[in-house]
Chain A
Amino acid sequence: MSHLVISDSMLSGLLFLLSLLGMIALMMTSKRHKDKFQHKLLLRLNGQALRGLGFLLLALAFLLTYTSDQTGYFIVVWFGSLTVAAGLVYLVMMIYEQLKPAASQ
Chain B
Amino acid sequence: MSQRRSSQKSGSQKSSQGFYLPSLNVLSRIVLAMGGGYGVAALTNLAFLALPMDTISAIYWSQIASILVYAVIIILVFSLRRLWLAWTVVAGIASILGVICYAAL
A contacts B directly (C-beta below 8 A) = no
Chain B positions near chain A (C-beta within 8 angstroms): none
